[in-house]
Amino acid sequence: MDDEPGLADLTATFLERFDEDFSTSTAESAQEGLDYLDENHVDCIVSDHDMPRIDGLEFLQAVRAANPELPFILFTGRGSEEIASDAISAGVSDYMQKESGNNQYAVLGKRIRNVVNRYRSRLQKQEVETRAETILEASPDAILVSVNSEFVYANTAAATLYDVSERSDLLGRQVGEFIHPDYRDDVDRQLQAVESGEQPTDHIPRTLLTLEGTEIPVQVTARHVMWDGDPGVVAIVRDLSQQEEYIRQQERYEASFHGAFDAMVVADDEGRYIEANQGACELFGLEKEELLGRSIDEFIPEDYDFAEAWLNFEKNVIDRGTLEIIRDDGETRIIEYAATANIVTGEHLSVLRDVTDRDNREDVLREMYNIISNRSQPFEEQVEALIELGRRELDVAYGTLSEIRGDDYIFEIVAADDDSIQAGDVVPVSATNCEIAANTERTLVLGDVERDAPEETDRAGYAEWGISCYLGAPVFTDDDVYGTFCFYDTEPRGGQFSEWEVTLVDLMSRWVSYELQRQQANVRLKEQNEKLEQFASIVSHDLRNPLNVLEGSLQLAEETGDKENFERCYRAKERMETLIDDLLSLARAGAMIDERESVSLASLVEECWQGVGVETGTLQLEFDSATEVYADRSRLQQLFENLIRNVFDHGSDDSTVIVGALDDGFYVEDDGPGIPEDDRPKVFEGGYSTAENGTGFGLAIVKEIVDAHEWEIHVTDSETGGARFEITGSDIKR
């Protein structure tokens, strides 16, 4: 640019001759030059200094305001040190004074080339640095540079990782401030090795500390770098927190997937299985490698529109329902499923639950309910139906309800594939596994006797009859073991009885226990009602006679005042009192016994002998003095007192009473006249007596006490022809 047009054009011509790559434009004023710059790209400005209105320095300042880096050469005809100094201060790229001759244009061309080359180099460097900064800032990993273990550069990701507001907050800090104490010495050695160029560091796991002390797992890769002429280290620090959390989530998913009891499968967009857990393999009856790659519709009945269902599933994302599947072996199973589309793009998860057994169990429970709720069916037939249901469900040959009575095991109701066991058969309880269930009062589960309880193989049930699997539960009445409800077979099971099978037998045994107890309660209620009727009959009949005597005697006494009539009144009163006492004793004797204890038989009998008040007669004890009976002491005392009193009520005053022990009880006999055989069934009836003043309740009370203890009493002859009462079924220790 020059205010002299001829000179500007001349300079442009010589410059283009100097270098064919030069392309020049001229302007005659600073304003014209500025306007040109607004619309055109130039690489260098050459300007004169002395120009009207705006001189060269002012033009330079205007250019620098818009473009601080654009090359600008001041080419002036009037030079001075002052102008040169001002030009340099204003940011001129070069300064050249005009001279005579054409050689000066070659010098000017070279200077133009030099400043443009420097300018372009700076632009390229700035572009490279800008690109590098963009790349560094775009990195999700923290990138830091340290010199002498001091941070001199950090990107934004580093500021985020180290939890500081600005990345400049990291500059000037020591690397060790952010390293876990356990690793500081090791990291310091590695930094020195990398900084010296000896050894790079690749993917080293470390624990980083933020300024707040938060520990962050990281992975570090470090390389040697020269930074502003000094050796340093550039480190890429990757935050492993999310990666470790992802790994943990993946591990949890894998654990949930492969450890689930339910079947879990993953299918691709084509509906082919690409992953399956063990539950799925068991459901489909295939090994994993056999199942993967198979299509879902291969396992679904032909009448099911799988294509439409799959389209709806992909559209709705989530699907639930019940479906039949056909296993590879042809068996049909019923499943409940819950499916979720695209847990990962193109992968669809389904959770499958086999409910075939559940539906079957519901059918079994419904059948069981129908059996036990049918009140029109006798109890024995209900039990038979339950046993058949149990045999079918457990797939065993035998099912029984049995009673344990002492050492005997009595088969009451039997269902079997053969005639080897019949209802009414009796075997020693010790020969059966039922003894274990009865003694422990718990359900006994033996899928294989030899495997599960080898110590029980000596029992006849296994050794002689071949019972190899057993599932039985105790049956209770009044909190006592009645017997067992059990199932067994001569073939051992491959596995154990299932929880469902055990539960089914438990349910059946509980119902049987309830029904037996209800029946026994009904029997007791019936007996009590009969006793009540008997009691009412006795009261109305036996009390009427002395009451009539009392009424008549009182009338005669009023009329005559005769003392004999009053004495007859007293005797009638005493008779009624005796009857009332005996009636109350009879009513109480049959009440349920709650507590029993071991009672010394010798001391109790002697106490009863004294209590009866026998002044004559003889008592003989035919048992060891240590003999004990497990009974209610008060009622046992009442039993002996009534038996002893009965001897003297029906015999002589010098009668001999003998009390002795039996294997399962005791007896009381005398040397009196005995009881005629025809009268023996009547002696325990309330109100029956052959004695002149007897009430007829003594032996009835004895019978009630025996029944309350669940014993038995029999009347027979003693060796001397007298009466002998044998009480059996008691727990006696001799």
Where do the domains of the chain lie? Answer: 5-133, 139-239, 245-354, 359-498, 591-733
Dihedrals phi, psi of 255, to nearest 5 degrees: -65, -45
Closest by Cα among 288, 289, 261, 282 to 325: 282
Segment 201-206 mean pLDDT: 76
Torsion (CA) 216, 220, 222, 227 in degrees, nearest 10: -30
Q: Which is it for strands 426-428 and 408-416: parallel, antiparallel or unpaired?
A: antiparallel
The first and second tokens of residue 603, run together, are 């001391």
Q: Cβ(69)–Cβ(123) under 8 Å?
A: yes
For residue 254, give the H/E element and its range.
helix 241-259
Higher-pLDDT residue of 127 and 423 is 423
Architecture of the domain made up of 359-498 = 2-Layer Sandwich (3.30)
639-644 long-range contacts (CB < 8 A, ≥24 apart) are 639/701, 639/702, 639/705, 639/706, 639/727, 640/604, 640/605, 640/608, 640/668, 641/608, 641/611, 641/612, 642/698, 642/699, 642/701, 642/702, 643/668, 643/702, 643/725, 644/608, 644/609, 644/612, 644/614, 644/668
pLDDT tens-digit series, residues 368-406: 999 999 989 999 999 999 999 999 999 999 999 999 998
Q: Other C-beta atoms within 10 Å of 597: how many?
A: 11
The predicted pLDDT at position 692 comes to 45
d(CA 144, CA 178): 12
Give the pair of three-digit tokens for residue 449. Answer: 């006797």
Alpha-carbon torsion, ordered 339, 340, 343, 348, to 10 deg: 50
Kindly indicate the confidence band of residue 575, based on its pLDDT and cuts at 50, 70 and 90.
Answer: low
Residue 581 in this model has a pLDDT that exceeds 70 = no
Neighbouring C-beta atoms of residue 675, cutoff 10 Å: 21
Q: What is the mean pLDDT of residues 708-713?
A: 90
455, with CB counted inside 10 A (0-12, 13-18, 19+), is exposed
Instruction: With beta carbons less than 8 A apart as the criterion, state whether 628 and 592 touch.
Output: no
pLDDT at residue 213, rounded to an integer: 82
Amino acid at 70: L
Instruction: Return the number of other C-beta atoms located less than 10 Å from residue 220's C-beta.
Output: 21
Helices (H), ranges, 561-687: 563-589, 601-612, 633-650
How far apart, in whole angstroms, are the C-alpha atoms of residue 479 and residue 492? 32
Contacts of 680 (CB under 8 A, 6+ apart): 715
What is d(CA 128, CA 223) in angstroms, rounded to the nearest whole number? 20
Residue count of the chain, please give it.
734
Topology agreement, domain 5-133 and domain 359-498: no
- Residue among 141, 122, 143 at smallest CA distance from 225: 143
SS3 state at 549: helix
pLDDT at 590: 53
pLDDT at residue 282 above 80? yes
What CA–CA distance (Å, rounded) separates 189 from 183?
A: 10
Average pLDDT over residues 454-482: 88
Beta bridge partners of 351: 264, 338
Query: What is the SS3 string spanning 17-44?
Result: HHCCCCCCCCCCCHHHHHHHHHHCCCCC
* Neighbour count for residue 545 (Cβ, 10 Å): 13
21, 97 Cβ separation under 8 angstroms: no
686 or 678, higher pLDDT: 678
- Spell out where 64-210 has E strands: 72-76, 94-97, 142-147, 150-154, 201-209
Mean pLDDT of 439-455: 92
Question: 3.40.1120.10, 3.30.450.20, 3.40.50.10490, 3.40.50.11540: which CATH number matches 139-239?
Answer: 3.30.450.20
pLDDT confidence bin for 28, thresholds 50/70/90: confident
CA nearest neighbour of 696 among 656, 658, 645? 645
- Exposed, middle or buried by CB within 10 Å (0-12, 13-18, 19+), for 34? middle
Among the ranges 123-132, 303-312, 349-358, 399-408, which has the highest mean pLDDT value?
399-408
Is residue 590 within 8 A of residue 531, CB to CB? The reply is yes
Q: Which residue carries 């064919």 as its tokens?
A: 20
For residues 722 and 673, the answer to whether their CB atoms sit within 8 Å is: yes
The tokens for 176 are 């060790």
pLDDT in tens, 34-85: 889 989 999 999 988 877 788 888 888 898 888 888 999 988 877 677 788 8
> What was the pLDDT predicted at 585?
59
Q: Among 39, 41, 37, 61, which residue's Cα sits nearest to residue 49? A: 61
Most confident of 223-237, 378-392, 569-583: 378-392
Helices within 408-448 (DSSP H only): 434-440
Report how far residue 512's alpha carbon sits from residue 401's, in angstroms, rounded to the nearest whole number.
Answer: 9
* Residues 42 and 70 sit within 8 Å (Cβ to Cβ): yes
Mean pLDDT value across the chain: 85
Distance separating alpha carbons of residues 484 and 410, to the nearest angstrom: 10
Nearest to 646 by CA among 602, 701, 599: 701
* Class of the domain covering 245-354: alpha beta
> Using 50, 70 and 90 to split pLDDT, how confident is the model at 408?
very high
Q: Cα(59)–Cα(70) distance, rounded to whole angstroms? A: 13
List C-alpha distances in Å: 594 to 34, 245, 527, 708, 709: 124, 66, 19, 10, 10
Is residue 194 helix, strand or coil?
helix
The whole-number pLDDT of residue 552 equals 79
**CB-CB contact of 724 with 662 (8 Å):** no
Name the residue type at position 377. Answer: Q
Helix axes 563-589, 698-708, angle to 10 degrees: 10
User: Who contacts 213 (Cβ-Cβ below 8 Å, separation ≥6)?
Assistant: none
Class of domain 5-133: alpha beta
- Tell me the CATH number for domain 591-733: 3.30.565.10
**93 falls in which pLDDT band (50, 70, 90)?**
confident
Q: How far apart are CA 733 and CA 664, in angstroms?
A: 9
Angle between helices 633-650 and 563-589 (to 10 degrees): 140
* Higher-scoring residue by pLDDT: 212, 366: 366
